[in-house]
Amino acid sequence: MSPIYLDHNATTPLHPEVRAAVVGALEIWGNPSSTHAQGRAARAAVERARRQVAQLLACDVDETVFVSGGTEGNNLAIRGLAELARQTHGAPGHLITSRIEHPSVLGAVDALQAEGWSVTRLPVAAQGAITPDALAAAMQPDTRLVSLALANHELGNLYPVAAFADVAHAGGAFMHSDLVQAAGKVPVDVKALNLDAATITAHKLYGPKAVGAIHIRQGLDLAPLIAGGHQEHERRPGTENVAGIVGFGVASELAMASLGEDAQRLSALRLALETLLLQIPGSRRHGFETSRVPGTCNIGFSGARGDRVVIALDVEGVCVSAGAACTSGSLEPSPVIRAICEAEGRTPAEARDAVRFSVGRATTAAEIEHVAKLTAMVVARIRA
């Protein structure tokens, strides 16, 4: 029996049409910066993909910059906006994020703090809630940048980013949002969200790994993280990954075409799985009940450590996770779940009990029932 893959928040399998596009693009071997015929063919392929990605974000084509993925994108956007603010005001200022952001966001923020920025990491309320009022209370006269995700990578929670942006802009700050877990799952319109910068990546929407993009609002001149080239409007030097970018474009187009259908189907599968898992004694949901991306649920099983449940399910042929893939080697409990447990008055030990299940396009109803039965068996065995 083939493994049952329920870890789509970590990465998604390559869509067959994307695979074909990537393979075909490998034959476009010219350098996109070259002016001869082979170079022009490569440039045309890159710009076609840029249009496809821009359509997914509902932004202008020249506001879209290709990068290597979500981690680089978050660093370029956050550090670029911070540097722009520092140049404008003549000194580092204050930055606001939250305790439950992706490690790449928190890493970029930590680096800025080491360079003299003051940082507020918003706490979360029960279920991981963050409100515009909480952001407004944290704003200071020198707040220059706010970075809060649209969808949380472990919980699937959706947040009121447009309202966050209103608060940030009213205080004179830039607004960045990590859209990695939202793009391709829910409609994303960076202009309606009123964002100055945003980040997405291909491998979360059935595209290739190691390619992503950032949206930079027109008129903002972000400094690159690295030097030595004029590519991507001098914001991301280095020869473009043509094959990966082509695959990203096709994946974006496919995601837009099936967005409504996918959301309806994945929501139904997620609900069925969650209903069955919550029938296991001592289980609880982490995160919002309704306002979240279609395919994600995070369940804690009291008395059964999440990492042990993940390993036991893997032995049974089921792929799930206990937290963000970027920190899967850590023995510490997930910072996201730890923050929620603190807000809900739970013990540190309970923060270790979380398991993230994320369904995808190929997931079937039969697999959901099978996984629920296996999980009940595994949890009972670990508790014993």
Question: What residues are annotated to the active site?
Answer: 326
Calpha distance 168→135 (Å, rounded): 8
C-alpha neighbours within 13 Å on the C-beta side of residue 172? 10
Name beta bridge partners: 98.
Answer: 122
Going by the DSSP 8-state scheme, the letter that residue 189 receives in this structure is: -
Three-class secondary structure of residue 121 per DSSP: strand
C-alpha span between 101 and 91 (Å, rounded): 25
Across 258-296, b (16+ Cβ under 10 Å) vs e yields ebeebbebbbebbeebbebbeebeebbebbbeeebbbbb
Cα R_g (the chain), whole angstroms: 21
CA distance 171 to 57: 25
Report which secondary-structure segment, H or E, holds 31: none
Run of H or E residues at 70: helix 70-89
Q: Tell me how crowded residue 303 is: count the other CB atoms within 10 A of its CB.
A: 15
Asked whether the CA dihedral 350, 160, 148, 93 is positive or negative, the reply is negative
Contact of 64 with 54, CB cutoff 8 Å: yes
Q: Quick count: other Cβ atoms within 10 Å of Cβ 119?
A: 14
